[in-house]
Structure 1
Amino acid sequence: MKNLLLFLTAMLAVSCSSNSEKNRDTEIFEHLQKLEADQIAADIEIDGEQVLDKRERFNPNVILNADSCHLSFENSDGANIRLKLEGENWHNLSKKRISFKDGVLTSEINSGSFSILQKTGKEFTLKDGWAEIRQLNQEACIITIHGMLKSSELNEPTKPINGLIVWKKPKELDLNSPFRSFYF
């Protein structure tokens, strides 16, 4: 009986996580259908609130080399989303993910960060959880984020973050780009 209960609990956990993954894949697909080439959708919630206008135009900045990946997306209000992965041959790792536990990096990446600077000047950095680049090539750049953020303001509690960034057919990442050897 105990083994049956453990088995059913494990199956429930697996089905919930795969449903969550399917929902995320559906969200990504819907964004890709709506976006024009070189447009970016930043669908990010902090503490249950949408922090950026999904229709906002973002200016991307990309720096890629064998040792690092720096992606930055800034809107006209000065809000900025930044993701940095650093480590030799980062692009060859099975997961292009930075993970944190209590503010300490716990992933294969040597160093990295994820932060959001809001137009109010308040900055949040990832304290627990992960930010992952799921795709980076001429077709799309897809980033998913999940975890807890800490604020730059003292004594403010951590806040949950959940979101994704979808950049359809990035001009900076076309087939003639010098970055193409880092695509996945």
Structure 2
Amino acid sequence: MALRPIVSGNDINGLDDPDPHPPRLVYWAPDPDQIPHGEMQRWFYTVQPDAPALLAERAARQAILEAPLPEVAAEQVTRAPEDWTELLDGFVEAGLCEKTGVAEMQAEWCYEGRSVPQSRVIMLGVRHDYARLRQAPEVEAGAEVIRQYGRAAHAAKQVANWLRQEGWAAEPVTGPMTGDFTLIPPALACGFGELGAIA
């Protein structure tokens, strides 16, 4: 707790503030030096950094993150909403994720100083292996979390690849690092409910 900053995440994001403002980064910043909780975030990566299970899962996830996206096709395919939904459900049927949903993008979901040009956000849900998570704080629990972040990243990139080939400028959002918008509001908007951590 020595690395915990004086300011809390609630203060950063204006809990009970009468003047609402866009969300601000609290944790998982791409550049930890830009947030008050940066030292805590850096400490996280010092815990068992050489554990083989963690290294293997991080390497697998990194390969997914580095895979290139295709160019956006010149011709934009249009379909009825229910047809898009049926095709999106194919990613669940293929085992890439356990749940999908779509919400209209809202500007207030964007972090301060950021924006998203797309009109829709597609949410993907992946299920963790509870038996592995129950082993926390053992390495296998951490490896399971990284494994599922990797699965989520792979699914997000596959959906983005598909949409880009259909002529839509889709961008995959992968965790754990924070992107341009907070993920819980669109997950709620598309009917996921409150499932825990969302990537």
More strand as a share of residues = 1
More helix by share: 2
Identify whether the pair has TM-score above 0.5, normalized to the shorter chain.
Answer: no
Q: Which has the higher contact order (CA 8 A, sep 6+)?
A: 2
- TM-score w.r.t. the length of structure 2 is 0.25
